[in-house]
Amino acid sequence: MRVGIDKIGLFTPNKYVDMVDLAHARNEDPNKYLIGIGQSEMSVADQTQDAVSMGINATMKYIDRIDKDKIGLLVFGTESGIDQSKSASLFVKTALKLKPEVRTFEVKEACFGLTAALMIARDFVRVHPDKTAMVIGSDIARYGIGTAGEVTQGAGSVSMLIKADPAILALNDGHSAYSEDINDFWRPNDSKLAMVDGKYSTQVYLDFFSKTFADYKKQKKLETNDFDAIIYHLPFTKMGLKANRLAVADQDEATTEKLQNSFDASKQLSRRVGNIYTASLYMSLLSLLENGNLPAGALVGLFSYGSGAMGELYSGNLVEGYEKEVNAAGDEKMLKRRQKVSVPEYEEIFNTALDDPEDNEELTSDDEKGTWYFAGTKGNIRQYKVK
């Protein structure tokens, strides 16, 4: 029985900063950001968007096309959690009107969270093939104004439905995992800003990719040229480019070109949205589905990385007709709806969003009708509303 990704939806907030503007404001050459880091825009979340509201909005992209009663599991991966105890998934479950029999919880391991959720969901569906599982990754990447990591911020969510006989990507058995207790990126409980040793993190990411890719190929008796695409967690697109260069280092021209083209297709959304932590790899997948022109059956390798650190490589095959399950025009419209904000405006939005509003202060959203948003707290209980 094949189990895998049947539906996928992306959401990103309605404001962005242009990297050329940010470079000018920080006295950097724009090409450092555009080429050196590989980012052209980054989405900015104001106070009304958090991990929960973005997760609901990502799921709304496909909720009308699924049988909600079949969902037996809902797992939410995030490192931008909104409560130290209660799972973000419970707020989502209420908004989506899922039935009470759903098993639901939140998982965390930096940017690995959504992959962890996906693997739990895959195994759940294998045991309960008549049920489906929903997995959501949702994060706001905040490194701080004027920091080296500022250019690698972003905000967004990807939601996926996992099911038997999936319509998009059938996951293959096996995986290669590698973990080590290190300090390349972390966020203490009392800080909304991440702490990061970016250069060290890059080294570890590339090391974990090399290890898991080599091990996966050995395990599955595959060669690099068997892959039609390899996609990556993209904290910034240059990171994936570096990993892809390692992947093709000893390959012939045709394989190098094939994997470079598929990587280019997979980075398009990331370049404009920025780092969305747990959901970043799956935004690469969506970008590949929309821009890659790959045939049904194509073998896609997926490299997931979460700082701290955990790496995993696995693969899937594209399913016949997968193109019908994505909406490139709709995603482009979503990106185009974003309002470009100046750097001073972004700084103000950023600083305001570091704190929640006063209890009982009602927030309103300036996003499109139908968008879910965080409306403030009542008695310190978070309220979510739809515009």
Strand 15-18 to 299-306 pairing? unpaired
Selected from 57, 104, 284, 307, the binder of ligand CAA by CB under 6 A is 307
**Cβ of residue 202: shortest distance to ligand CAA, in angstroms?**
6
Count of residues touching ligand CAA (by CB under 6 A)? 26
Q: Is residue 279 a contact point for ligand CAA (CB under 6 A)?
A: no
Buried b (16+ CB within 10 A) or exposed e, 359-382: eeeebebebeeebbbbbbbeeeeb
Q: Minimum distance between the CB of residue 312 and ligand CAA, rounded to whole angstroms?
A: 12
Give the one residue of 2, 21, 36, 182 binding ligand CAA; rule: CB under 6 A.
Answer: 36
Q: Is 57 annotated as a binding residue?
A: no
Site string for ligand CAA, 228-267 (x = CB under 6 A): -------xx-x-----------------------------
Judged by CB under 6 A, the residue of 16, 76, 208, 277 near ligand CAA is 277
Q: What type of residue is 190?
A: D
Active site residue 79: yes
Q: Is 332 known to be catalytic?
A: no
Dihedral angle sign, alpha carbons of residues 353, 359, 362, 368: positive
Among 24, 29, 296, 361, binds ligand CAA (CB under 6 A): 29
Token couple for 48? 């009304």
User: For the chain, first and last CA: distance in Å?
Assistant: 41
Point out the catalytic residue in the list 109, 233, 290, 325: 233
Percent helix, strand and coil across the chain, each rounded to 5? 40, 25, 35
Most distant CA pair in the chain: distance in Å?
63
Burial class of 277 by CB neighbour count within 10 A (0 to 12, 13 to 18, 19+): buried
Pull the structure tokens for residue 65: 């096309």
Q: Is 24 in the site for ligand CAA (CB under 6 A)?
A: no
The three-class DSSP label of residue 49 is coil
Q: CB under 6 A: which stretch of 9-17, 32-40, 255-263, 379-387 binds ligand CAA?
A: 32-40
Continuous H helices in 110-236: 113-127, 198-220
- Catalytic residue check, 348: no
- Could you list the active site residues? 79, 111, 233
Could you tell me which residues are annotated as the binding site? 29, 143, 242, 275
Residue numbers of the site for ligand CAA (CB under 6 A)? Answer: 29, 31-32, 35-37, 79, 110-111, 148-149, 151-152, 185, 196, 198-199, 201, 235-236, 238, 275, 277, 305-307
